[in-house]
Amino acid sequence: MAFYAVVWRDTDDSALVDETRPLHREHLRGMVERGQVRQAGPWADGAGGPLVFEVADDAELTALPEADPYRKAGVVVDRQIRE
């Protein structure tokens, strides 16, 4: 297992963020329950946030953030990944 930090920067469209947030939180909750997400939360200014994943490999990591409703809806405009 490996730890990865994923840092997202969100869109300035606060209505889109607010509309998508419940689905995003539900998605995160499932990953937390499965032990894939160890820590997550927004920056104080609401401009995105960090997620800490514990997964088997790069392939597992790649699939998880892409399935997030924030990514699908276009909330996330930039991301950085560090092992």
Region for residue 33 given its phi and psi (left: phi exceeds 0; alpha: psi -120 to 50; beta: otherwise): alpha
pTM of the model: 0.87
> Which residues are CB-neighbours of 5 under 8 A, at least 6 positions away?
50, 51, 52, 53, 81, 82
Q: What is the pLDDT of residues 32-70, one digit of tens each?
A: 999 999 999 999 998 999 999 999 998 888 888 888 999
Task: Identify each DSSP E strand in the chain by its residue range.
Answer: 2-10, 37-40, 48-55, 76-82
Tell whether the torsion through CA atoms of 54, 56, 62 and 64 is positive or negative: negative
pLDDT number for residue 25: 95
pLDDT of residue 63: 85
Residue listed under structure tokens 């909330």: 75
Q: What is the pLDDT of residues 68-77, one digit of tens each?
A: 999 999 999 9
Class of domain 2-82: alpha beta
Is residue 82 scored above 90 in pLDDT? yes
pLDDT at 34: 94
